[in-house]
Structure 1
Amino acid sequence: MPADIDPIERRLLADPLLLSDIAEAVGGPFHVLFPERVSVNIAAFQSAFADAGVDGVVYFGKKANKAACVARACAENGAGIDVASTGELIAAMAQGVRGEDLVVTGPAKSDDLLWLAARHRALMAIDALDELDRLTALNLPVRVLLRVLPAGSTSRFGLDPRELEQAIHAISAPITLSGFSFHLSGYDAVARSEQAAALVGHCRRARADGHPADTISIGGGFGVDYLDASTWAEYQNTLSDNWFHTNPPGDYYPYHFPVPGAAMLEAILAHNDLATLLRAAGIRLAVEPGRALLDRAGSSVFRVQGVKTRTTQGNPYDILTVDGTSLSLSEQWFDSEYLPDPVLWPPTTGHLTPTCVGATTCLESDLLSRRRIPLPRRARTGDLLVYPNTAGYQMDSNESGFHELPLPPKVVLRADADRLRWSLDGTAR
């Protein structure tokens, strides 16, 4: 299941010393971030808006990765950040993102978050009537989006039609109703386009009541293409319980996504000519991708601490123990499996060796890879395993100091003309 690897990561893997130097310096597992790739991904979304002639804004969904270098890339490339806590708001501003370039989401926001966001003129997505009441009580000028509960949804988030009407009529100066937002689970471009068109109607009705209502946000859910189509199809069609050390996963992310990231935005804008509708109504479209802005923007590195061999149905395979936990490769903690193959480093020759990867804890279930991955040679103690494309949600959404193990630090890698240079991310200092 080989992943598509970014050129800067190929340079890292080809360097005979750099990976081992970093591992020696940090003394444990670590994550590598490539902020130049974040810049490329932001630019792709911005180009999709420009090509469609749509006024659009990109907000990075910060929950997807805490790295300071990602927030800095947003500040430097004209992207805002979607935050849901005072900690995320402060971290974003510390990297140069201005308050007016933040959108504050999440349910039942704390009074501290409402106050701080209002003071810095952040855009706020209002999820409930009592939240609007608490914001009104602050008596501060603030722009809001009303989060709409999509028809037929059973989500705990958003305002139903009755609540939505109440909120529209309750808003008055110094609060400004800037528009509406929604969030859909899954990755359906058509559903997002049609819901966006419905929100244009909400904006027009709100304008009749004197509100500017010139912005809608369609949230995130922009897919990432981790594996090529044939590899993903072959895996699904031939999947066998015998491939796994323990029970196989119950569900998977769609690891092949034929219209990923900015291409999905293009499809949303093209469906039923949404772009023309937005232009005619003078509506600004906001998107809040997390994972899609982190595509090929980072990897996770673990050192092999031990190797043992087991046999099932007469077939031997290796079990590695590495110096980290699956809390730093989060997919496993959702009864799933992170499928892109790790790269065994250094790249020396040997015999194909089925291998699963266990963590350095005393939990039987703590496996980074339950699947017996066909490594190109037998791993040895001291080797490194590099899991590619882990920047989106994998690195730290479930991180924990379990067993009092230190959290893997984040390392920032930048390419100069003649060499790669690394430094610790602001989150690791």
Structure 2
Amino acid sequence: MVKGAPRLAALWDPALRDFVDRYPAMLHELAGAFDAPIHLLFPDRFVRNVKAFERTLAEHRVAGRVYFAKKANKARCFVREAAELGIGVDVASEGEFSDALAAGVRGADVAVSGPAKANDLLRLAVRHEALIAIDSLDELARLAVIARHCGRIARVLLRMEPASVSTSRFGLDPASLDAAMLLCAEHRSAMTLEGFSFHLSGYSARARADQAALAARACVNARSHALAPSVVDIGGGFAMSYASAHDWARFQATHSPADYHANKTFDGFYPYHSACDGARMLAAILTAVPEGESKPLAALLSEHGLQLMLEPGRALLDQAGFTLFAVQGVKDRGDYGITTVNGTSFSLSEQWFASEFLPDPELVAAMRAPHAPARERVPYRTCVGGASCLDSDMITWRKVAFAQRPEPGDLLLYPNTAGYQMDSNESPFHELPLPPKLVVTLDGSRPCWRVDRPSTFSGA
């Protein structure tokens, strides 16, 4: 490797690491067959992550329910696993709702979030008995009318404005929250208040515990209005570690603008390592003593007969997929190169959040004929550009250090991309095909794969 070049080695599930190392020919066959970037998905890892959250709830004796935040990945296979596991799915559009139903999720297991939801979405949610997080008094009033028209009782969560964040456009402020509770009581023939929800940015376990305690107290207060809420929804934002603590600290200490094409700088990066990630973060939330309380959150919930609801997205997709791009060409630029691949940065979404997906991509060299001369192994640094005409279409701005110069026909493997990276911003710009998603099973003597059935609303 190039001496002094900052690196950020990805953490790997051992079974996925073994798959990549043992079956490079299969990776090349799949990439060649679909003639596009491809996303490989491993739903069994999703199942494992769900069960880790459920074990944590059980260990702390908390009645709780996990919902998969569908926006984190559009693949049908993950929603199908959610249906098989009996967990919920969080959606924010008619398309997501319909896709969840098509994958076998019961309407009563769907939670609907998002601001100022359209009447058609509210109507769909009411008819299928979904749980609806209400963000404004106007929305609550519209829901009451829709529920009466449908002859159904709408299931409601009231979304609270975070006490610690005054700049969020989401949630009901304290006065609106009181008015919403009175409205629920007034229209109890059309709606039932099941609880309170919130969503916090950032990855603080303590902040979530504090806000959850406020939601628990709101449940108790609502019972004085002859209402019977029993759910505290703490939303998502569960951290995920892509790299080790040592590697992440070293990377932050050593990288500089000179390590990026055009001396690119960023306002900040996702925290690619967290000591409190996934289900461990849930445990930290449950064992924290919220501000103003005398007992841990888990005990507070139990005392008042409350159920915890959580909506991880990224954390349920840890190690559940990776992405392959094919190298089309390499251009030398002095002490580094620009490698162009057969897709665009629309297929790896961190760049469109004004940031960079930092875990090191890996070079999967093209398969060579048995008697072909060996390639020269000279360390080479290169950034990675997309196939479009946009100067900003950079899949990796950083000059990544590889053991050898990439060549056309090689593959670049981006690890652990299932959470938000694969399809948050995908686009068929230049009429380039959207990367297909292939579901891989590793429980046989040889890996098996199939094409993930895309949502009819995805544009795929």
Shared fold, TM over 0.5: yes
Residue number among 352, 357, 369 corresponding to 1:338 in the alignment: 357
Is 1:310 the counterpart of 2:333 in the alignment?
Answer: yes
Equivalent position of 1:12 in the other structure: 19
Runs (5+) with no aligned partner, structure 2: 1-7, 290-295, 367-374
The DSSP-based 3-state class of the residue aligned with 1:427 is coil
In the TM superposition, what is the alpha-carbon distance from 1:349 to its structure 2 partner? 7.4
- How far, CA to CA, are the matches of 1:230 and 1:353 in structure 2? 24
Equivalent pair of 2:24/2:364 in contact (CA under 8 Å):
no
Which of residues 358, 376, 379 in structure 1 aligns to 2:406?
379
Cα deviation digits, residues 82-141 of structure 1 (max 9, x gap)? 000000000111111111111100001011100001100000100011111111002121
User: 2:270 is matched with which residue?
Assistant: 253
Deviation (angstroms), 1:333: 1.6
Residue 358 of structure 1 aligns with which residue? 385
Separation (CA, whole Å) in 1 of partners of 2:386 and 2:86: 39
> Which residue of structure 2 aligns with residue 204 of structure 1?
220
Higher mean C-alpha deviation, range 215-224 or range 75-84: 75-84
Q: Do residues 323 (structure 1) and 350 (structure 2) align?
A: no
- Give the aligned CA root-mean-square deviation in angstroms: 1.3
Mapped pair 1:63 → 2:82: no
Q: Of 39, 43, 46, which residue of structure 2 is paired with 1:38?
A: 46
C-alpha distance in 2, partners of 1:23/1:255? 28
What is residue 108 of structure 1 aligned with on the other side?
A: 116
The residue that corresponds to 1:295 in the other structure is 318
Which residue is equivalent to 1:154?
167
CA–CA distance in structure 1, aligned partners of residues 88 and 377 of structure 2: 47
Distance 2:9 2:105 in 1: 36
The 1:425/1:160 distance shift into structure 2, 3 A limit, reads same
1:46-86: CA deviation from partner (whole Å, max 9, x where unpaired): 01100000001011111111000010111112221100000
Q: Does the 8 Å contact 2:131/2:155 carry over to 1?
A: yes
Confirm whether residue 222 of structure 1 aligns to residue 238 of structure 2. Answer: yes
What's the counterpart of residue 443 of structure 2? 416
Cα distance in 1 for partners of 2:341, 2:319 equals 23
Superposed CA deviations along residues 6-52 of structure 1, whole A, max 9, x for unmatched, are 23422331214210111122111111111000000000110110000
Distance across 1 between alignment mates of 2:422 and 2:35:
18
Residue segments in structure 1 that go unaligned for 5+ positions in a row: none
2:370 counterpart residue number: none
- In 1, Cα distance between equivalents of 2:47 and 2:53: 10
Alpha-carbon separation, structure 2, partners of 1:392 and 1:327: 15
**In the alignment, is the contact (CA less than 8 A) between 1:12 and 1:18 conserved in 2?**
no
Paired AA for residue 188 in structure 1: S
Q: CA deviation at 1:207?
A: 1.1
Cα pair 2:70 2:313 within 8 Å, conserved: yes
CA distance in 2 between counterparts of 1:274 and 1:399 reads 39
**Partner in structure 2 of residue 400 of structure 1:** 427
1:370 alignment partner in structure 2: 397
